[in-house]
Amino acid sequence: MAAHFGWNLRQLDVKNAFLHGVLQEEVYMSQPPGFIDPQHSDYIDSFVVVLLLYVDDIIITGNAPTLISDVISALTKEFDIKDLGPLHFFLGIQIISQNDGLVLSQAKYVKDLLTKTAMLDSKPCSTPCLPYNRLVLDDGQPYNNPALYRSVVGALQYLTFTRPDIAFAVHQVCQFMQRPMESHFSAVKRILRYLKGTLNLGIHYGGLEVNFDTIRAFSDADWAGDPNDRRSTTGFVVFLGSNPISWSSKKQQIVSRSSTEAEYRALATTAAELDWIRQLLTVLHLAIPSSPVLFCDNMSAIALTSNPVLHQRTKHIEVDIHFVRERVAKKLLQVQFVSSSEQYADIFTKGLSTPLFQTHCRNLSLGFTS
């Protein structure tokens, strides 16, 4: 929103935040005095101020600079606040302002991780994992330093906040935290080698010229793709206009008995994410005029979203079927077909060949920073 509307982003820090005690009392909140219209008590002001708080670090933005300054002044009266000025660096994420929007990058974080693992001088590779390859549970010898494995993989998980291109590869290595093998750590090292070659890759959020009044999502599943338990992997990505704002690569909780079932479970997961995003945008006073569009490349799964007949073979996923179908019936969601070649979520469900992988990186607004 800040990138699109050209809002200024400011950063604050609360000194001695951990000295404040735990709140034991119930707290009841109401609008501050002066904000209530006697004729329209349920109305609120048209100005928007958004405050993002993580422990003692704060980002504040909005469409009213004067009101933002008032909020900062009010906070300063209650807490020892340090105004760090325009936002440049937040929780390991660098925010780079450009004429056409913002770029989020974790280049310094990546460099520190490569230094920690002695991989800074490693030979780069073109993709974070081998194309169409899956890791096996007991492949080879146990890795002799499980603590290092867990530390590095945990660090890679945090990196997926701005690097959706490594989400599937990290999802794979996360599954062997308890008993990693040497082959699993080799897969971790491949991710690090890929990061070495893409150190300055960041995600771009477009400005005013970008269409910002639609929500699109792409949902995909790799049916029975995990050779260890034959569970499928759900992948999705959600776009606000052309800006990617949410993505995931996650194994499904139970085994699906058909590709249609796996794809439909992925549809249900993505539909739930869309519900949450619409609620969040409502809180942020951002009205989206049309219902979200959810793209899927499985015609059988799409048919189930509008077919009122529950067949014997699908009754075990009845809850997911009703969840999606209800939203389609109420026109809160549109489900449409997309060809596999244009399935943006494909990058979250499997390792891809280099040309296809690079195409999807561009689809996810990933580009190199200067």
DSSP state of 117: T
- The candidate with the shortest Cα–Cα distance to 223, out of 161, 166, 312, 300, is 300
Quick one: tokens of 5?
Answer: 């509307």
Can you tell me the distance from the alpha carbon of 205 to that of 3, in angstroms, rounded to the nearest whole number?
6
Residue showing tokens 């800040």: 2
According to DSSP, the β-strands at 215-222 and 201-206 are: unpaired
3-state SS of 172-235?
HHHHHCCCCEHHHHHHHHHHHHHHHHCCCEEEEEECCCCCCCCEEEEEEEECCCCCCCCCCEEE
pLDDT beneath 70: ranges in the chain: 17-21, 31-38, 40-44, 209-210, 308-316, 370
- The H or E element containing residue 71 is helix 65-78
Count of other CB atoms within 10 angstroms of residue 128? 26
267 three-class SS: helix
Q: Which class for 55: exposed (0-12), middle (13-18), buried (19 or more C-beta within 10 A)?
A: exposed
Helix or strand (DSSP H, E) at 295: strand 293-296
How far apart (Å, rounded) are the C-alpha atoms in residues 6 and 237?
Answer: 24
Residue-range domain boundaries for the chain: 2-87, 105-201, 210-338
> Which token pair is 105?
């990058």
Give residue 319's pLDDT: 77
Q: With 0-12 CB in 10 A as exposed, 13-18 as middle and 19+ as buried, what is 218?
A: buried
Q: Are 348 and 167 in contact (CB under 8 A)?
A: yes
How far is 302 from 255, CA to CA, in rounded Å?
A: 20
Pick the CATH number of 2-87 from 3.30.70, 2.60.40, 3.30.565, 1.25.40: 3.30.70
The per-residue pLDDT for 287 is 84
Distance of CA 73 to CAs 76, 247, 266, 348, Å?
Answer: 5, 36, 46, 44
Topology (CATH level 3) of domain 210-338? Nucleotidyltransferase; domain 5 (3.30.420)
Do residues 2 and 9 lie in contact, with contact meaning Cβ atoms separated by under 8 Å?
yes
The per-residue pLDDT for 194 is 98
Name the amino acid, one letter, at 344.
Y
Structure tokens at 344: 């943006």
- Provide Rg for the chain, Cα atoms: 23
Could you tell me if 244 and 238 are in contact, meaning their C-beta atoms sit under 8 angstroms apart? Answer: yes
Which helix (H) or strand (E) covers residue 273, if one does? helix 259-283
- Token pair, residue 56, equals 């003692």
CB 293 within 8 A of CB 236: no
Q: How far apart are CA 64 and CA 8, in angstroms?
A: 10
